Structures are given as C-alpha cells and as structure tokens.
Chains A and B, each alone.
Chain A
Amino acid sequence: MSGSMTPALALSLRRYGFGLAILVVLLIANVVMNPARFHPAAWGTLLGMAAPLIGAALASAPVIMAGRGGIDISVGPAMGLVNAVVILLFVHGGIASPWLLWPVALLLGAGIGAINGFLATVVRIQPIVATLGTYLILTGLTLTILPAPLGPAPGWLRSLSGVWSFAPLGVIALCWWGLSRTPFLGQLMAVGSDDRAAYTAGVNVTGVRFLAYVIGGLLVGAAAMMLTALIGSADPKVGTNYTMIAIAAVALGGVSLAGGRGGLIGAAIGAIDIFLLQSLLTAFNVSTYVLQVAYGAVLVLAVVLMALQDRPTKRSHA
C-alpha cells in the first residue's frame, strides 16, 4: 500500500504467485481442451458462470482477513435467502426494477452481515459458532418462504450472466479500490495480524471487525444477484453449497485463515482456479465422484505447496 511500486508488486506476486500460476496453467489447458467454450466471444458467458463462486469467495474474505478465528460460514445460506427474496419479490410482488431489487439484495446481505458481526464482535460468540447459528437459521428461513424452486428472473438480471457479467465484478473492484484509499484496509490488516497491538495503537478493533462483516454481507448480496442471474430462478437449496467451496477458494488464493494476510484479488484468483478446474474436469467427462476427489486433492496440494513456499519466512503461530 505504501512505498515504491516494485516491493509492493513483488509482495503481491509472492502472495498470489501460486494461485496465479495455477490459473495460467488451468487456463491454457482449458483453452486447448475446449476451444469453443473458451473462445473470446464466449467470455461474457464464461465469466457469468464463474461469477457466483467469485462473489462468494470475495464475500468470505474480509471476515477471514480480520483475524482471531474470523470466518463466515453463513455466506452460502445468505446467498440462498437473498436469491429467494429477490425472485419472490419479482414473481409474486411484481417488482422488476433493478433500482429496487439491487438495493433490496445489498441491504439484505448487509443486514445479515451486521447480525453476524454483532454476534461475533459485540456478543463475542466464537465466529464459527455465531455464523453456524445464522447458517441454520437462514437455511430454515429460506426453505420456509420458498419450499420449491421458482422462476423466472427479470430479463435485465439474466443478461448479467451473459455479455454484462463483468459489470457487477467491475463495480466491486472499483469499490474495493476506493476502500483501499481509506485507512480502513490498513486497519483491517493490522487488526487481523495482531489485534492486541492494533488495540494499543488506538484502532477501534471491534468497529473494524464489525465493518468487515457488513462489507462481507454487501458482497453476499452482490454474489446472490450474480447467482440469480446465472440460474435465472430461485432455488432454496442452491446457496448452501457455496460456503465451503468459497472458503477453499479463499485459502487457495493465498488469504491466511489466521488473518492479516491476503486480499480480495487473491480470493478472486482462488475462485477462478476452482472454476477452471471444474470446467477442465467436466471437459474430460469424468464422473462427479472423480471431480470431488480432484477438488480435495488440488485443495490439499495447493495449501501444502503454499506452506512449503512460505516456510523460510514462517512465523510461529502462537
């Protein structure tokens, strides 16, 4: 963030190098195996297919970066609830305007994030337990308001999974860039790497962590819209799948689960890695069982290689 460009670049290469290397290899393999799907003309659709996972990974990242066991396992179910509410408003409520549905999605996401943040930082329940509680509540709530899948989605929303798929991700990138101009990001990293030191330095640790949950919630809202765009309907069971795979993507992208290291770029790279792996294995026509083994193997291999690479500069995790 500070200093000349070159050390910063070297640092981020070191941080993201591994995820980027996998990305390049997988991308080349995909283009060779499946040229039609990866033709530049299809990039919009392709990005639209990857977007929900990228969004879920982005949404999981800020809370993890805030440290002290910070994690949000309610990301998937929260996406499911926003997905259900948006489609219910459209189909039964007759609300089709993006100027209403987008704020609803983002506010709902931010609200869930604020509840998680309140439980984890003010009530001080261990984050994995607090978000496990909201995970169960959100899953139950979604199934109650929407027992069966429902469609369709508004036309403008469906086009967000096609040629316009870069738009939501672009807006997120701009907002994050803007946020990185404020002291918040520095404070988040300080809190994540050593909250006691940050506290003695006068940082409002509780406030920063709470804000991390709210930002994660906003990103959940956006991820849910990208999911709705992709599936073009509401499905009460589709959201929950995203939690674990998003956390895996975040880890793959070089974000330390101990907090204080990594960023949204890494999370996005990790998510794209997983998407490319999925798409490559599907091109090979393997069964979903093999897909699962490959998932697990790549995840373990990636974190092991990353840990080996980090070894010389390893800090004891006390």
Chain B
Amino acid sequence: MTARPASLRPAFLKPGFDQTRMRVIGAFAVALALHGLGTLLIPGYSAPFAIRAMLVLAALLAVASIGQTLVVILGGIDLSIPFIIGFANVVAAQLYGQGWNFALVCLLVAVMAIAIGMVNGALSRGLNIHPLIVTLGIGMIVQGLVLIWTRGFPTGSAPKAVSQFVSIGGTFGPLPVAGVIPALLVLTVLIVLVLERTPFGRRLYALGSNPGAAPYALIRPLWVWMVIFGASSFFAAVTGVLLLGFTGSAYGDVGQPYLFQTIAAVVVGGAALVGGRGSYVGTLAGALVLTEINTLLIGLGYQPATVQAAFGLVILLLVSLYGRERHFSTLV
C-alpha cells in the first residue's frame, strides 16, 4: 500500500530528498488508510458519486494550496489567500453580472490579484517584515475595499462553463470526473517540472533553505519573492472563480476555511514552514488527507463543532507522526 504512490511518481522526486519523499509517501498512505476506514464504517463511502465529490473538494483545496506551497518553500507564509479568494469570487460575479465579457473579467481579476501578491512579496522581502503581518494587513484592506464596493451584498454568478468545470456530476470527455481534476493533474506536472527542472525552481529552494547565502549565488531575493507571492495570489484568485462556479453565487467569506486548511495541507504534505523543503505532490496528498478526514467525520454523523475539534486532533497526530522538526541542537 505504501509503495504504490512512490512507484506512481518516481520521476518527480529526486533522490537525495529521502526524508521529504518519505513524508509524501506517508501522506498518501494516510489518505488511502482513511479512505479504507471510511469504506468499512460508512455504507456508500466509496460509491462513484461520493468519490467524485471528494475529488472535486480536494481539487479546490489543492488549487488554493498551490500558492501556500510555493510561499512555504520560500520560507514565508501567505495569510492573504482567503481574502484574495473572496475578492476574486465577489469581483468576478459582480462584473460578470454587469454584463462584462467573462474572459475580460478573469483577466482583470488575475492582473489585480497578481499585483496585490507582488506588493505582499515586495514589502515582506524588501523591508524584511514578517510576511504573516504583511499578508494579513493587505488581506484585510482588500476584503474591506470589496465590502465597501459591494456594500456587503455581492450579486452575480458564474457562467455555465465554470459551474460545469467544477460540478460534482460533471464529466470531461470520456472521463467520469469534472474537468477540474484532469486540469489539476496537468497543472501538477507543470508545477513539478518548474520546481524540479528549471533554474527558477532551484533558486526558489536555494533561497528558502539559506536566504543569507542565496544572493552570493546571484539569486535576486526580492524578485523571487515578488514572483512567488504574485503566483500565490493568482492561484487564490483562480480558486475564488472556481468556487463561484461551485457554489453558484458570490460570497465574500467563501475563502475563510482555506486560511488554515491550505497551511494544514502543505504541512501534512511534508513541507517545513522554515523554508527550503516541500513539494506540490506532497500538498496534493495533504489536500486528499484533509478532505478524507472531513468527509469521514461528517459521514459518521458528528456535529460541525465536533468535526472541527477532531480535525485539529488528527492534524496534530499526523504531524507528530511524520512532520516533526529536528532538534535545534543538531543545527549547532
């Protein structure tokens, strides 16, 4: 059971990152084990419709977590993701509702999101301020501005194509899954290629593992930070538009659950928040684990409050099993 995910993705994981690879394999194994447990305990847990629903939920979380993965590899953290998700969700719906061309709407939202992200990166790195504070402050400003603009009551919806793309009952050609699943797989391959096979990817890991030494290797930290935070906001905006299709109507707080879930997915996937370590394949596994836990607990009939508490407990258990940090004395 543990060997399967490894043999699925040997090319993506370079030798030498053994510990990281173990964590990724561990996360996939946990997801599989949870699914097995759910199938045993709950009738219909492995029914095609249930699996399709879980895949779509996991895919939405995985898209939202792309940015968090990149930022965490860099040694930062992005708390503006839920606010950017809400921003994209509301602005796209509002403008599309006013009769704008949807492609133009998406372009505009993407450009604005990237600009916000680049401000996050520039302020954090350029002035050496902790990104936690910068992204929280910028996120609050963005959300407030959206609320002022819509007076708290956003209107509008997404075009049919977007709803179809993330619909639980959707199909993609001959595949019985929504279009977002194959799209995410293609995106994953692209992200892994960029991270593992391009100079930019290597610079990202180098900067994350040793920010002091990276400039001597001719890496421009400020530029990398701006690009990565811009990318993070971009993928958050994509999530916002996808969620608009998923829920059908605009809602400014739609991104709030993603604040902690993206961090949890990244960490369960084996990344270290101190930077320099992590992979997007791991985050995919993390997103699967979180979705399985949620579905399992709700399926067992627990109240939302209990589910939340159990969620916290499981995160702690998993991370203490395979996400422990080294003792600082080994760093002396």
Contacts and interface: CB of A to CB of B under 8 A. Distances in A.
B309 A292 contact: no
B263 interface: yes
A299 B80 CA distance: 14
Contacts of A123: 320, 324
A316 to B, nearest CB: 5
Interface string A206-224: 0000000000000000000
Given A289-B144, A297-B141, A300-B123, A130 B316 contact: yes
Contact of A293 (B140, B308, B311): B140
Nearest to B268: A129
A174 B139 CA distance: 37
A132 B212 contact: no
Interface stretch (A5-13, A137-145, A165-173): A137-145
Given A129-B263, A303-B137, A139 B308 contact: yes
Contacts of B313: 133, 137
Given A124-B327, A293-B144, A293-B148, A132 B308 contact: no
Nearest to B132: A257
B306 A144 contact: yes
Given A296-B139, A304-B127, A251 B133 contact: yes
Contact of A318 (B142, B210, B312): B210
A111 B283 CA distance: 33
Contacts of B143: 292
B32 interface: no
Given A129-B263, A129-B315, A196-B332, A69 B137 contact: no
Nearest to B273: A126
A240 to B, nearest CB: 11
B147 interface: yes
Q: Which of A128, A134, A293, A316 has the most CB atoms of chain B within a 10 A radius of its CB?
A: A293
B101 interface: no
B322 to A, nearest CB: 11
A244 interface: yes
Given A68-B328, A140-B306, A289-B152, A247 B132 contact: yes
Nearest to B313: A137
Contacts of B183: none
Contacts of A69: 273-274
Contacts of A299: 133, 136-137, 140
Interface in A51-70: 68-69
Contacts of A275: none
A77 B104 CA distance: 42
A244 B136 contact: yes
Given A119-B320, A144-B309, A296 B137 contact: yes
Contact of A199 (B123, B145, B316, B332): B332
Contacts of A119: 316, 320
Would you call the interface of chain B mostly helix, strand, loop, or mixed?
helix
Contacts of A311: 127
Interface string B194-212: 0000000000000000111
A126 to B, nearest CB: 5
A296 B140 contact: yes
Given A140-B306, A205-B328, A307-B128, A300 B148 contact: no
A307 B123 CA distance: 10
Contacts of A129: 263-264, 267, 273, 315, 319, 323
A126 B272 contact: yes
A292 to B, nearest CB: 4
B129 A128 contact: no
A292 B144 contact: yes
Given A140-B308, A140-B309, A304 B123 contact: yes
A126 B267 contact: yes
A229 B213 CA distance: 52
Given A126-B272, A248-B133, A289-B152, A199 B211 contact: no
A292 B146 CA distance: 11
Interface in B198-256: 210-213
A296 B137 CA distance: 4
A135 interface: yes
Interface string A277-290: 00000000001011
B135 to A, nearest CB: 10
B127 A128 contact: no
Interface in A132-163: 132-141, 143-144, 147
Contacts of B127: 303-304, 307-308, 311
A93 to B, nearest CB: 22
A133 B128 contact: no
B320 A304 contact: no
Interface in B108-137: 123, 127-130, 132-134, 136-137
B140 A295 contact: yes
B68 to A, nearest CB: 12
A304 to B, nearest CB: 6
Contact of B133 (A257, A289, A317): A257
Contacts of A136: 260, 308-309, 311-312, 315
